Amino acid sequence: MSDFNFEYMNEASIDALLKCRLCSKPFFDPIITRDGDRFCRKCITQKVSANRPTGCIRQSSFTENLVPMTEKILLDMLDSLTVKCTQCQKINTRVVHLQQHLQHECPKRIVLCIASDLKCPWMGPYDEFDSHIQKCTFHLLRPILMESLQFQKQFEQYKQSYDQQQQEIEQLREKMKSYENHMGKLQKAHTIILGSLSQQVRRCSEFEKDLQQIREEFNKYDNQQIELKQELQLIKEQTNQASIPSDEIPNESHRLNQLQQAIDDVSSKFQQLDVKIQLKSVDDVTNQLHQLDVKCQQRSDQSQNEIQKLKVELNQRMTPLNEYQLEIRKLQEEGRSQKDEITTLKQNVKQHDTQILLMAKEKSDTPNTLIHQDGRIEALMESIDFYSDVDLSRKKIGDQDMEFLCKKVIVDNRCGKLRLEHNEISGNGATTLADILYTNTSLVELNLSNNQISDTGARALARALSINNETMEWLELDSNNITDDGADYLADMLKTNTTIQILNLGSNTIGDRGVRQLISAITSHNNTLQCLNLTSNKLITDACVNDLIKMIQHNQSNHVVWLNNCSLSKNAVEKLKQEAEKKGNFALEA
């Protein structure tokens, strides 16, 4: 319950015992300190934080010892006070019934469109709900949008299945490549063995030729010996038959002796040669040939065994390889089929998006019915050129100016940068701006710092930037009274947005819960955000340090985080800086 939703009736007449000494207003969420003093919980917490801005153990201990007030009489008196709703001006509502009134009865309570599940950004008073429903583009297009969302979901499923099959195909290709490399190595080894075997066979052939020459020479000497013996035998026969004169006998005898001596010499040489051939040449060559034959046979057997093993191993490896190839063909055929389905789905989604954009454009092109009586905004617009950077800071621009301004700047002039800081823009003005952003095709940088867009504006902007955004890269929302709820909306936006690189959320009231939501979105879903500024968010404490460390360790895109002037202890800051140094490409300011 916000302090701005009601005001007390006849506040001056309320007993001082029911008022907080710090804010001088009736107790709201009253607590009792150890000393017995009574305060509003928010008042005493802010007081302690202001006295010790850096945070310490004493502050934490003091806060933990705050006890809710339990005096039934005082609580009943507080509940019986009458208040006036500042939204609908209803009076004489008891405090105890105020929550029921604000949530379920107040005609000015803020409600969402029934098409919020289709990302309709409208958020407004309950008494405007019916009129909005009658012209709500998202509600009118619900059948188309539901079909589009269904197509989108089916498309994501097909895409995920397709990517998974592509990974499986890539793994199978790597296995095939590994098998092919191994087969190449086996073939090289086989070639080397065959080369060595061929060399041994050639050497055996050369030894056989040498042996054949020695045998031929041996046969030649053997024939000469036989011829000499035959000639000697013939001479002896002739000698016995011939009648040789006595005076010629000595001469013939001498000649016969010479012939016999020559025969004996030839026979002796032949025997020596024969012995040498037999003992040396033949035996050595035979032994060498035998050894070579044995080695060749061993090498041949070994080569045959290795070749046989290689053939068996090759067949074993070829079997799963053939299966992989068949599986790859099937996967490729399925991939082509799914790719065709994905293409069809993309076309359908694109057609639906086009219809939605046309409807949204018709809505944004509705003639502006606001009348700027002072002509101030029109005068500012006259100096703006096409595709220019527009600076409208400190121009006292309010919600009533936003529709005309945004249409002129973003739609008509297609500016690239728009600066609106230090103006009077609330959540309603931010919602008007968000409606225009649905058709944005040029705006790259938007600065809304130092306004009051609150969680309402953050929600509208987050929804607009979650759908069909292709240009926005820099979003600054400093000092806009954004709480953890607004951080939740922006975290949901970061899960689908793929363009924003810098997000500035400094000087808001974001706490540990909001930080956790942002970190979860950045770590698990976002790959584009590079800088996140959370400076001067006093509700950020050591409770979210582990989540910040996880983001530093695992996030791949975010490289800069500002946490200056938050409620982090020195020990927590030191841990974060150590993790940032380990990361290397990460900068932390705290």
- Confidence grade of residue 48 (pLDDT, cut at 50, 70, 90): confident
Give the HSE-up count for residue 18: Cα atoms under 13 Å, Cβ half-sphere.
Answer: 17
CA–CA separation, 543 and 206 (whole Å): 90
Judge whether 275 lies within some domain.
yes
Assign 402 to helix, strand or coil. Answer: helix
Does residue 371 share a domain with residue 412? yes
Which of the four pLDDT bands, split at 50, 70 and 90, describes residue 448? very high
| Spatial separation of the C-alpha atoms in residues 487 and 258, rounded to whole Å | 134
User: By 3-state DSSP, what share of the chain in percent is helix, strand and coil, each rounded to 5?
Assistant: 65, 10, 25
Q: DSSP class of residue 424?
A: B
| 417 inside domain | yes
| Mean pLDDT score of the chain | 78
pLDDT score for 422:
95
Percent of the chain surpassing pLDDT 70: 74
- Examine the fold and report which residue of 341, 361, 381 is the final residue of a domain before the chain moves on: 361
Count Cβ neighbours within 10 Å for each residue of 186-216 and write b for 16 or more, e otherwise.
beeebeebeeebeebeeebeeeeeebeeeee
Lowest mean pLDDT among 103-117, 274-288, 526-540: 274-288
What pLDDT, on a 0 to 100 scale, did the predictor assign at position 519? 92
What backbone torsions phi and psi does residue 556 show, to the nearest 5 degrees?
A: -105, -15
- 3-class DSSP state of 561: strand
Range of the domain at 251: 153-361
Is residue 528 situated within a structural domain? Answer: yes
- Check whether residue 298 and residue 373 sit in a common domain: no
User: Is pLDDT above 80 for 189?
Assistant: no
Asked if residue 429 belongs to a domain, the reply is yes
- Can you tell me the mean pLDDT for 110-131? 86
Is position 349 within any domain? yes
Looking at residue 250, its pLDDT comes to 63
Which of 361 and 330 is assigned the larger pLDDT? 330
Does residue 244 register a pLDDT over 50?
A: no
pLDDT at 67: 86
277 within a domain of the structure (yes/no): yes
Element (H, E) at 454: helix 454-466
Q: For 340-350, what is the mean pLDDT?
A: 65
User: What pLDDT is attached to residue 584?
Assistant: 75
Which range has highest mean pLDDT (104-108, 128-132, 311-315, 491-495)? 491-495
Our CA angle for 79, 83, 87, nearest 5°, is 130
pLDDT at 383 over 50: yes
**Cα–Cα–Cα angle for 215, 217, 221, rounded to 5 degrees:** 115
Between 65 and 535, the more confident residue is: 535
Q: List the structure tokens of 294.
A: 């044995």
Please compute Rg for the chain using Cα positions. 51
Are 161 and 241 in the same domain?
yes
Do residues 539 and 512 make contact, with C-beta atoms less than 8 angstroms apart? yes
Q: What is the pLDDT of residue 29?
A: 84
Q: Which of 40, 31, 33 shows the shortest CA–CA distance to 3?
A: 40
**CB contact set of 48 (below 8 Å; sequence gap of 6+):** 59, 62, 63
Residues 208 and 347 in one domain: yes
| Contact indicator for 572, 60 with CB cutoff of 8 Å | no
- Among 11-15, 229-233, 276-280, 545-549, name the one with the lowest average pLDDT: 276-280
Q: Are 484 and 518 in contact (CB under 8 A)?
A: no
| pLDDT above 60 for 353 | no
Same-domain pairing of 255 and 132 = no
Type and span of the H or E element at 13: none
Better-predicted residue by pLDDT, 85 or 363 = 85
Of 313, 331, 361, the residue that ends a domain is 361
Angle at Cα 571 formed by Cα 569 and Cα 575, nearest 5°? Answer: 120
List C-alpha distances in Å: 522 to 499, 516, 590: 13, 10, 19
| In a shared domain, residues 351 and 483 | no
Rounded to an integer, the average pLDDT of 19-25 is 85
What pLDDT is stored for residue 375 in this prediction? 62
Q: Which amino acid is at 67?
A: V
Look up residue 367 and give its DSSP letter.
Answer: P
Identify the three-state secondary structure at position 176. helix
Going from the C-alpha of 292 to that of each of 102, 202, 277, the distances in angstroms are 108, 11, 20
Across residues 95-122, what is the average pLDDT? 81
Nearest by Cα to 363 from 436, 414, 428, 431: 436
The rounded distance, in Å, linking the Cα atoms of 41 and 35 is: 15
On whether both 379 and 326 belong to a single domain, the answer is: no
What CATH number is given to the structural domain containing 34? 3.30.40.10
Structure confidence at residue 369 as a pLDDT band (50, 70, 90):
very low
- Reference 486, options 450, 452, 436, 535; nearest CA is 452
191: CATH: 1.10.287.2610
| pLDDT at 364 (0 to 100) | 45
Strand 389-391, strand 123-125: pairing: unpaired
**pLDDT of 446 over the 90 cut:** yes
- The pLDDT confidence band at residue 442, using thresholds 50, 70 and 90, is confident
Kindly state whether residues 47 and 91 are assigned to the same domain.
yes
User: Of the residues 312, 341, 361, which one is the last residue of a structural domain?
Assistant: 361
Strand boundaries in 346-490, DSSP class E: 389-391, 417-419, 445-447, 474-476
Planar angle of CA 473, 476, 482, nearest 5 degrees: 130
Give residue 509's Cα distance to chain centre. 32
Residues 406 and 552 in one domain: yes
Beta bridge partners of 417: 389, 445
β-pairing verdict for 67-68 and 30-32: antiparallel
Provide the pLDDT for residue 447.
Answer: 95
**What is the tally of structural domains in the chain?**
4
Residues 126 and 83 placed together within one structural domain of the fold: no
Q: How far apart are CA 244 and CA 246, in angstroms?
A: 6
pLDDT digits (tens, 9 = 90+) for 464-480: 998 867 889 999 999 99
Q: Is the pLDDT of residue 306 over 50?
A: yes
Residue 550 near residue 524 (C-beta atoms within 8 A): no
CATH classification of the domain holding 389: 3.80.10.10
At position 224, the amino acid (one-letter code) is Q
Q: What's the token pair of residue 263?
A: 């025969």
Q: 74, 94, 98: which is closest to 15 by C-alpha?
A: 74
Q: Whole-model pTM?
A: 0.41
Tell me, yes or no, whether 146 lies in a domain.
no
User: 102 lies in a domain?
Assistant: yes
Residue 42 class from Cβ within 10 Å (0-12 exposed, 13-18 middle, 19+ buried)? middle
Q: Is residue 289 domain-shared with residue 373, that is, in the same domain?
A: no
Residues 382 and 305 reside in one and the same domain: no
| % the chain with pLDDT above 90 | 22
Looking at residue 421, what is its pLDDT?
A: 94
Quote the CA–CA distance of 572 and 549 in Å, as a whole number. Answer: 10
Q: Would you state the structure tokens that stand for residue 112, as one six-digit string?
A: 């969402």
